[in-house]
Every structure is written in C-alpha cells, then in structure tokens.
C-alpha cells in the first residue's frame, strides 16, 4: 500500500515539475524578448512605417498592417472552403472510401512543411500566375497561407459538426425539414463555437508564418495603399492595390534585423517579435473567451 502511494506521489510530483518547468521556460523566453525589446518599444516605433523612419528599420507600422491583412484575407479565403468540406465529409459523403481519401489528403496537407508550400507559391503564384497576382504580393501570400491554414479550420469544423447531438437533427427531419434546412438551422448554429475557434486559431497561425510569406508576399517598407492603377502586364490592364502589391509582415521584419545587424538595431527585431507574440496571445485569449462563454451559456 505504501509502495503504491509513494509511486502515485512520485508521478504527481513529476507532473507538477513538468508543468512548472514548461511555465518557467515560457516566461524565460518572453522575459528575454521583452527586455531586449525595451530600447525600441515605443509608440513612434509602432505607429511609423519603415519608409518614414530614418535609415533602414525604425518603424513597424507597415509590417503590423501587412500581417493583419495577410492573416484576415487568408482566413476569409480558407473559411468557406474548409467549412464546406467539413459539412460534406460529415453530412453528405456516403462513400467510406471517398471520405477516407479526403481525410488522408487533409492530413497530408496539414503535415506538409510550410517551406514546401512557400516554394509552391513561389513557382505557381509568383511566377506562373504573376499576370493575375502581380508576382510577390498580398494576394499571392494570402492564397499560399490559405492552403496552410485550411486543414486547421476544416478539422475544427468537422469535430464541431460531429459533436452536434443526433437527436436535434432527427427532430428536425421529423418535422419535415430538408437536409440543408437541418444543417443551416440546427447543425451549424450548434457547431458555431467550434468552427469560430478554428477560424480564430487559424488567424494566429497565419500571422506567425514566415517561410510562406517571404516566398510569396515579399516585403515593402511602405504602408499598404488602396487603389487601382493602369498596368499593361496585368490581367485587364489594371493593378489593384494592395492586393497585387508587395506587403510587409512582422516575421520578415524580425528576420531583417538579424540579416542586416549593421543596419537595423537588434532591439528592433526583438520589439517586432514581441509585438507578434502579443498579437498571437491576444488571438488565443479571444479563442479561450469564446469557448468559456459557450460553456457558461
């Protein structure tokens, strides 16, 4: 009996120790980044685009806006496709072999290294489709990120739809509702929390990506501008800004500070990294809040 209690106490201690160790590592990393970022972390640095600052670096407003645009646009592209796929997989697909094939493809896509997707985006979107995308551009980066985050949303949506009680749908069918009426008025409303959670998490996943963005969106020191201009090499002879223009992002800003240490202060790279971490943490906090409100509701 004493041996069993000692064994249990040992494993409890091991679990607590692991949790404390992971927490200390997290705070150590965040603390180091925050301390290194302090010399550059101010409102002027956050609100000034790089082209308006002196020299190379000096502001990350363009990168913050670019990161937000890339994340939101890719999520807007991916969400309908992912949710539609999840609905088909869970409510329409009858062929078990087809379902397994789709599931396998999604698993492969979710496990594909981001650098591979980046190279695909570089070859197909940036070069072969440059008369549509404009080459390195916001739309190229957003489409490549769409492929990256699509499995995240699809899996979350699929699990959310799967968790809807069958009794609710059976009651809807018993009242004479069609399959689509049941899905749109019963299934999706009850699966909203899980779907929204996947969508919000995918925004954070897109925001922190660097390999895909550097190979498709490029980099610009200027703030994104909205407008239409004539461009003969583009489809229909027009360029739509900022969709078909270069766009900055925070991960690339961090990379630049270490690629050009003689031109950009390392503290600016740490400041950009800290801002990116804060954005991702806020997105995760929003996700937790959505789940918590759903549970108490």
- Domain map of the chain by residue range? 38-296
What pLDDT score was predicted for residue 80?
Answer: 92
CATH code, 38-296 = 1.10.3720.10
User: How far is residue 39's CA from residue 60's CA, in Å, rounded to a whole number?
Assistant: 14
Separation of alpha carbons 93 and 182, rounded Å: 16
Residue 21 is predicted with a pLDDT of 92
Q: What is the pLDDT of residue 260?
A: 79
What is the Cα–Cα distance from 297 to 293, expressed in whole angstroms? 6
Mark residue 245 as left, alpha or beta (left: phi above 0; alpha: psi -120 to 50; beta: remaining).
Answer: beta
- What pLDDT does residue 103 have? 82
Structure tokens at 104: 């396998």
The pLDDT of residue 143 is: 92
- pLDDT for residue 297: 59
Of residues 29, 38, 30, 27, the one with CA closest to residue 271: 38
- For residues 233 and 218, the answer to whether their CB atoms sit within 8 Å is no
- What distance in Å separates the CA atoms of residue 200 and residue 207, rounded to the nearest whole number? 11
Identify the H or E element spanning 230. strand 227-230
Tell me the β-bridge partners of 240: 228
**Within its chain, how far is the Cα of 103 from the centroid?**
21
Q: Which pLDDT score, from 0 to 100, does residue 253 have? A: 86
CB count in 10 Å sphere of residue 57 = 23
From first to last of its 297 residues, what are the pLDDT tens digits of the chain?
567 777 788 888 899 999 999 999 988 988 888 888 888 888 888 888 888 877 777 788 888 899 989 998 999 999 999 999 888 888 887 777 777 888 888 888 888 888 888 899 999 988 888 888 888 889 999 999 999 999 989 988 988 888 888 888 888 888 888 888 888 888 888 888 888 888 888 888 888 888 888 889 888 888 888 888 877 777 777 888 888 888 888 888 888 888 777 777 888 888 888 988 888 888 878 777 877 776 665
Q: What is the pLDDT of residue 1?
A: 56
Predicted confidence at residue 142, as pLDDT, reads 92
Q: Is the pTM of this model over 0.75?
A: yes
């Amino acid at each position: 009996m004493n041996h069993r209690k000692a064994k249990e106490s040992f494993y409890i201690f091991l679990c607590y120790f692991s949790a404390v160790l992971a927490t200390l590592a997290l705070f150590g990393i965040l603390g180091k980044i925050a301390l290194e970022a302090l010399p550059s972390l101010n409102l002027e640095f956050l609100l000034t685009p790089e082209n308006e600052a002196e020299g190379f670096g000096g502001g990350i407003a363009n990168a913050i806006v670019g990161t937000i645009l890339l994340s939101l646009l890719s999520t807007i592209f991916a969400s309908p496709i992912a949710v539609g796929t999840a609905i088909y997989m869970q409510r329409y697909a009858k062929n078990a072999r087809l379902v397994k094939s789709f599931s396998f493809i999604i698993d492969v896509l979710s496990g594909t290294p981001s650098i591979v997707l980046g190279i695909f985006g570089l070859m197909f979107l940036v070069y072969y489709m440059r008369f549509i995308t404009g080459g390195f551009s916001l739309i190229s980066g957003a489409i490549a990120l769409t492929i990256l985050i699509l499995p995240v949303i699809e899996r979350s949506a699929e699990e959310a739809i799967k968790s809807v009680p069958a009794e609710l749908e059976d009651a809807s069918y018993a009242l004479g509702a069609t399959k689509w009426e049941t899905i749109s008025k019963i299934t999706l409303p009850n699966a909203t929390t899980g779907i929204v959670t996947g969508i919000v998490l995918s925004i954070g996943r897109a925001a922190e990506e660097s390999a895909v963005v550097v190979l498709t969106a490029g980099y610009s020191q200027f703030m994104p501008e909205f407008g239409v201009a004539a461009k003969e090499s583009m489809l229909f002879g027009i360029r739509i800004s900022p969709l078909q223009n270069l766009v900055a992002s925070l991960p690339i800003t961090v990379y630049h500070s270490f690629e050009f240490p003689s031109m950009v202060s390392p503290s600016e790279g740490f400041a950009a990294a800290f801002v990116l971490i804060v954005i991702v943490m806020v997105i995760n906090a929003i996700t937790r809040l959505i789940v918590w409100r759903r549970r108490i509701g």
